[in-house]
Amino acid sequence: MSCDVLVVGGGIAGLACARHLVRDGLDVKLFEADERVGGRLKTDLVDGFRLDRGFQVLITSYPEVRDSLDLDALQLGRFIPGARCRVDGGWRDVRDPWRDPLSIPRSLLRGVGSWSDYAKLATLRRKARAGTLDDLLAAPAKSTAERLREAGFSERMLHTFLEPWLSGIFLESDLATSDRFLFFVLRMFADGHAALPHDGMEAIATQVAAELPPGVVHTRARVRSATPTSVTLENGESMSARAVVVALEGGAAARLQGLAPTPPPRPVRAVYYAAERDPVGAPLLVLDGEGRGPVNHLAVPSTVQPSYAPAGAHLVSATVLAKHADATQADVRAQLATWFGSDVSGWKHLATVDVPVALPAAVDATPRPVETPDGWIVAGDHLGVPSLQTALATARAAAACAKRRVTQTASAA
Ligand SMILES: Cc1cc2nc3c(=O)[nH]c(=O)nc-3n(C[C@H](O)[C@H](O)[C@H](O)COP(=O)(O)OP(=O)(O)OC[C@H]3O[C@@H](n4cnc5c(N)ncnc54)[C@H](O)[C@@H]3O)c2cc1C
């Protein structure tokens, strides 16, 4: 069997790449190892609750999200920009001071940060918003921890808000991640909202997949080996094409291309509970500003998007980072009881979802080209700042590259 382009991997990068190629009239086949497409964008229905495979959000300001997705059709529910921080046994809200300037005196009075912290944040934010996104991501980098130290934030601002907030995005606690990721986040959060689709994060992948005609997507079809012009499935079936796009997570992509192993990816754990009452009372992200753990951050997705829970119930999502990998569900519940009191003992534990490959290590987050010197075409979030933006942007670039190959080989034939 042969066709124009074979796409390996049915995460958002592979699906978006296939959709670009199909829109250009090419003959495409996509192979996905799992029983359904979506990759890391999966949502499971458990007792009427929508459980994403790890808490994550769609940031509405990602340029590729705006260009590639029909946001209205996703019926997004939005978080309030900012966070609620656990500090000194109580709660402090940090609102985005640029969108909610009236919150500044409250935040100052209640001791999350000083004027000087806000001025430092403004300096970083200005840098993040200057120039193009490509310029920002190509600038020389240092670790986020170093950048924040150099900026001179107060210990309180660091521990209460910046560290837990950024750890929750990078999925690592040392903030060893490149400050390219920091600036990317500051730029995107300056203009966009963190949101959840009505049908869960998987709806993003479903929307893209819906445009692929029957016969393009093959699930339960694990690719065993590949070359830049052919793939062989685990069942022994082989196919050739004018181009192959490898749209896998970084480690699997390296294995398929016969490259050296990549640094270990970042895992994460989501612990889900059903609660009768919303313990937060606002569509806000909750941060462990005391650094005790095991929970780094918590959200009540059903407050943002009521479809995440059946009527009369709420979904609580607590995220545990690798640093606390040994923590049990009982440890999580015990911490949450100190936050929300005796109600927590009545919460029903719905599931603990371990995601071994949540984000690539990508410590330096250097943008990499989709075409390699060996002739491979690749797409996926491991090629830059790990995010839906990178997955979708590399999908677009990989599709353009594959289309060029198809045209060149057709005219040479
Ligand atoms: C808990 C969590 C939180 C996150 N938070 C955010 C966030 O807030 N904002 C954000 O922008 N991003 C976030 N992300 C990252 C975002 O989900 C990813 O960047 C994006 O989904 C990656 O898409 P991908 O297509 O590159 O890779 P994947 O989704 O990993 O797709 C790869 C696909 O390849 C398949 N596959 C693997 N091996 C084979 C094989 N041999 N043959 C065939 N198929 C194969 C896999 O089954 C998978 O479907 C988060 C991710 C997680 C897990």
Residues with CB under 6 A from ligand 1: 8-14, 31-34, 39-41, 54, 56-57, 59, 222-223, 247-249, 252, 268, 355, 358-359, 380-381, 386-388, 391
- Tell the residue nearest (CA) to atom 35 of ligand 1: 9
Place 37 in a pLDDT band, splitting at 50, 70 and 90.
Answer: very high
Give pLDDT tens digits for 277-298: 999 999 999 999 999 999 999 9
From 15, 207, 248, 285, the mutation candidate for ligand 1 (largest count of ligand atoms within 8 A of CB) is 248
Lowest mean pLDDT among 102-106, 158-162, 192-196, 300-304: 102-106
**pLDDT computed for residue 360 by the predictor:** 93
Residue 278: Cβ within 10 Å count: 16
- Rounded to whole angstroms, the Cα distance separating 126 from 121 reads 9
The model's pTM is 0.96
List the domains of the chain with CATH numbers.
Answer: 2-41+201-262+364-412 (3.50.50.60), 49-197+266-359 (3.90.660.50)
- Tell the residue nearest (CA) to atom 10 of ligand 1: 387
Place 106 in a pLDDT band, splitting at 50, 70 and 90.
Answer: low
Task: Please write down the HEC assignment for all residues of 330-375.
Answer: HHHHHHHHHHHHHHHHHCEEEEEEEEEEEECCCCCCCCCCCECCCC
Place 371 in a pLDDT band, splitting at 50, 70 and 90.
Answer: very high
Place 4 in a pLDDT band, splitting at 50, 70 and 90.
Answer: very high
| Cβ–Cβ < 8 Å for 207, 198 | no
Residue 251: Cβ within 10 Å count: 18
**pLDDT computed for residue 372 by the predictor:** 95
Ligand 1 centroid to residue 41 C-alpha, Å: 6
**pLDDT computed for residue 342 by the predictor:** 94
> Which residues touch 395 (CB under 8 Å, ≥6 apart)?
12, 13, 14, 15, 16, 17, 20, 247, 379
- Tell the residue nearest (CA) to atom 36 of ligand 1: 9
Lowest mean pLDDT among 5-19, 110-124, 135-149, 227-241: 110-124
95 or 302, which is more confident? 302
Look at the block and give the residue holding tokens 């959840």.
Answer: 196
Place 114 in a pLDDT band, splitting at 50, 70 and 90.
Answer: confident
**pLDDT computed for residue 24 by the predictor:** 97
Average per-residue pLDDT for the chain: 94
Distance of CA 387 to the CA centre of its chain: 5
**pLDDT computed for residue 111 by the predictor:** 65
Ligand 1 centroid to residue 103 C-alpha, Å: 36
**pLDDT computed for residue 115 by the predictor:** 84
